[in-house]
Amino acid sequence: MTLSTPDPAPRMRAAFLRALGGPEQIEVGELPLPRPGAGQVLLAVRASSLDPVDALVRSGAFPTGTPFPFVLGRDAVGTVVDAGAGAEDLLGRRMATSSLGHDGRQGAWAGFTLVERERAYPVPEDVEEETLVAALHPASTAHLALHRHGRLAPGQTVLVGGGGGNVGGALVAEAVRAGAQVVATARERDAAGVRALGADRSSVGACPGAGTVTTVDHTAADAPEQLRTLLADRTDLVVDTSGRLDPELVADLMAVRGRIVVITAPPSPPRIPLARLYTRDVSLHGFVISRATVDELADAARGTVRLLQETPWRPRLAENRDLDAARSLHERLDAGGIEGRVVMRIRA
C-alpha cells in the first residue's frame, strides 16, 4: 500500500559498499528502491547519524551480515511512505529506528530504507528529529548499560567514566533521572555541563544523595585519590566510556555485589584484579549494543525519548553533512578525528 507514488523507475541515492574494507570502498550513487514485505515499512529518510561502530562494520572488524551492495548507516528518522501487509497503520507516520546496517539489514544512508515494524519507533511531536537521531545511539547505549545490564536501583551510587562524552552525558542524565547518586570524570571544560545534569532533588525521591552529580577531573594528578575519597567500597555500578579508568582503582571503589559494565576497552589488555572482584561478589559485565534484542532496542528508544523530554541532556552536535561526505566522514572516523555527533541530512 503506497501513500505517495514513487518515481516510475524507482531508484534512490545511497552511500554503500560493494566490499568490506577502508573508506575508499564507499560509493555514493543510485540503487533500486526497496519494496516493503510483510511487516515492513519503507521509510523516507530525512536524517541519519555517524556512529563509531560504523567503521567496524565497514572494515569487517565487527563481523556481521552485509549483503552487497550494502548501504551504510545505523540510525534514521523519517516518514513512512509505503508499508507491507500488517504494517499499513504506520503509513504517513514520523518514525525513527536504531539498528539498521547490521545483521543482514540494509543501512540508513539512503533516500529510503526498509524497517521491520518492531524496529520502528514513533517520534513524538515535541521531540526534534535531528536531536533524536543524534541521541539514539549514545542514549540507547546508556539506557541499556544502566538498566538492562547494570540493574540500577534508586539511591545507588554510579561512577561514570568520561561524563563529558556523548555516551557519558547520557549515562549521567539517565542515572540522575533514575534516582542515583553520580560521580563522573570530566575535565574542567566539561565539568559544569556534567554537573548541570544533576536533578532538582525533590524530583528524584527521598534516597540520600539521589540526583546529585559530582565531577572529578581525570587530568588532575590526584584524580585517583579524589575518586577513592568519594567512592571507596561504595560504588554500586561503574560504566567507563573512556576505557581508561585503572581496573585496580575501580576494583577498590566497588561495593559488595557491585557491577562493572564494560562498553569499551583500552588498546592493550588491562590487568584485572580478579581476587578483589570475586571476594566482593563484584560482576564484570560486557555489553555491546549491536547484540541488543529487538525488545531491548525498543525499550532503549523509549528511554531515549524520555531522556530528551525529561532531562536537560542533549547529544553534542558537531556538524551536519550529506551523503556526498560519506567517504570523508569515514576517513575522519578511522583517524579518530570526529568529536561529537554528526547528523547526516538526506534528501529523498
Task: Name the residue nearer to ligand NAP (CB basis): 94 or 137.
Answer: 137
The closest residue (CB) to ligand NAP is 165
Helix (H/G/I), strand (E/B), else coil: 257: strand
Task: Name the residue nearer to ligand NAP (CB basis): 113 or 166.
Answer: 166
Query: At its nearest, how many Å lie between ligand NAP and the CB of residue 100?
Result: 15
Other C-beta atoms closer than 10 Å to the C-beta of 222 total 11
Q: Determine if the peptide bond prior to 36 is cis (ω within 30°).
A: no
Q: Which residue has the cell 547526516?
A: 344
Other C-beta atoms closer than 10 Å to the C-beta of 238 total 26
C-alpha atoms less than 13 angstroms from C-alpha of 191 in its C-beta half-sphere: 13
Query: At its nearest, how many Å lie between ligand NAP and the CB of residue 322?
Result: 22
Q: Which of these, 283, 223, 270, 228, lies nearest to 250 by C-alpha position?
A: 228
Q: Rule CB under 6 A: which residues touch ligand NAP?
A: 52, 137-138, 141, 161-162, 164-168, 185, 187, 218, 241-242, 244, 263-264, 287-289
Task: Name the residue nearer to ligand NAP (CB basis): 162 or 179.
Answer: 162
Beta strands in the chain (DSSP E): 11-17, 26-32, 40-50, 70-71, 76-83, 94-97, 112-116, 121-122, 157-161, 181-185, 213-216, 235-240, 254-262, 283-286, 317-322, 341-345
Query: At its nearest, how many Å lie between ligand NAP and the CB of residue 37?
Result: 29
Query: At its nearest, how many Å lie between ligand NAP and the CB of residue 208?
Result: 26
| Cα 62 from Cα 331, distance rounded (Å) | 17
Concatenate the DSSP letters of all residues of 33-59 into one string.
Answer: PP---TTEEEEEEEEEEE-HHHHHHHH
Query: At its nearest, how many Å lie between ligand NAP and the CB of residue 3?
Result: 34
Concatenate the DSSP letters of all residues of 182-211 into one string.
Answer: EEEE--HHHHHHHHTTPPPGGGS-SSTTTT
The distance of Cα 174 from the centroid of its chain, to the nearest Å, equals 13
Query: At its nearest, how many Å lie between ligand NAP and the CB of residue 162?
Result: 3
Task: Name the residue nearer to ligand NAP (CB basis): 105 or 137.
Answer: 137
Task: Name the residue nearer to ligand NAP (CB basis): 255 or 263.
Answer: 263
Query: At its nearest, how many Å lie between ligand NAP and the CB of residue 220?
Result: 11
Task: Name the residue nearer to ligand NAP (CB basis): 79 or 215.
Answer: 215
Query: At its nearest, how many Å lie between ligand NAP and the CB of residue 161?
Result: 5
Task: Name the residue nearer to ligand NAP (CB basis): 91 or 288.
Answer: 288
- Which residues make beta-bridge pairs with 341? 317
The distance of Cα 96 from the centroid of its chain, to the nearest Å, equals 14
Task: Name the residue nearer to ligand NAP (CB basis): 88 or 334.
Answer: 334
